[in-house]
Amino acid sequence: MNAVVFYMIALFIAVSAVLSVTVRDIFHGAVALTMTLLGIAFLYFYLDAGFLGVIQILVYVGGIMALFVFAIMLTSKMGDHKIPQVNAQFWPGLLIAAVLCAVLLKIVVDSSWMHAQASAVITDLQTIGRSLVTGYVLPFEFISLLLLAALVGAIVIGKVRR
């Protein structure tokens, strides 16, 4: 029963992920990407990580996807005619992708996968919050710096156009 549910979600994620890069219409691709992100949220919910699932939907689907679609709408030409799927960089790109795929496959095959017992890991908020400001405070601050830089960059780009 559990395995069936897991593989159904996994299939859903895989199919929509493939669709999101193969469909010709960019808006359809965005919808497929939304489905992928939603599928990952389902997976989190299914693994009892409710908080992660909720944040996944809030940040990725509600925030980032909305901005993606907004950007697609602003670039009027993007949706009007079908954009070609390949450009001059097709073969070098394929080569890099193949090498990356080989490395990842090697890692997947070589590593000995630990089978964790289904333990009562309660991902309560207190634990997450406390570890963010103690053990992981450096990455946390680093990410905030990165986001600030991105924010300032966006403002600069917006200013230049005017």
Partner 1 sequence: MNIPWLALLSLLLKGVAILAFFAVNAMFLIWLERKISAKIQNRLGPMVVGPHGALQLIADTVKLLLKENIVPAEADRLIWWLAPFFVAVPTVAAFLCIPFSQEWIVADLNVGILFICSITSLCVLGVFMAGWGSNNKYSLLGGMRSAAQIVSYEVPLLLSVLVVIMEAGTLSMQGIVHAQELGWFCLKPNVLLAFLIYMISATAEVNRVPFDIPEAESELVSGYHTEYSGMKFSMFFLAEYANLFIISAVAATLFLGGWLGPLRPSVFWFLIKVYGIISFLMWIRWTLPRVRMDQMMSFAWKVLTPLALINVLVTGWLLAGKG
Pick the closer one to partner 1 by CB: 40 or 65: 65
Pick the closer one to partner 1 by CB: 99 or 147: 147
Pick the closer one to partner 1 by CB: 31 or 47: 31
46 within 8 A of 6, measured Cβ to Cβ: yes
Residues that bind partner 1 (CB under 8 A): 1, 25, 27-28, 31, 34, 50-51, 54-55, 57-58, 61-63, 65-67, 69-70, 73-74, 79, 124-125
Minimum CB distance to partner 1, residue 134 (Å): 17
Minimum CB distance to partner 1, residue 120 (Å): 14
Minimum CB distance to partner 1, residue 30 (Å): 9
Can you spell out the DSSP letters for the chain?
Answer: -HHHHHHHHHHHHHHHHHHHHH-SSHHHHHHHHHHHHHHHHHHHHHTT-HHHHHHHIIIIIIIIIHHHHHHHHHSHHHHHSPPPS--TTHHHHHHHHHHHHHHHHHHHHHS-------------HHHHHHHHHTTTHHHHHHHHHHHHHHHHHHHHHHHHH-
CA atoms within 13 A on the CB side of 10: 7
Pick the closer one to partner 1 by CB: 5 or 98: 5
Pick the closer one to partner 1 by CB: 98 or 150: 150
Minimum CB distance to partner 1, residue 31 (Å): 7
d(Cα 9, Cα 158) in Å, to the nearest integer?
Answer: 40
Minimum CB distance to partner 1, residue 160 (Å): 20
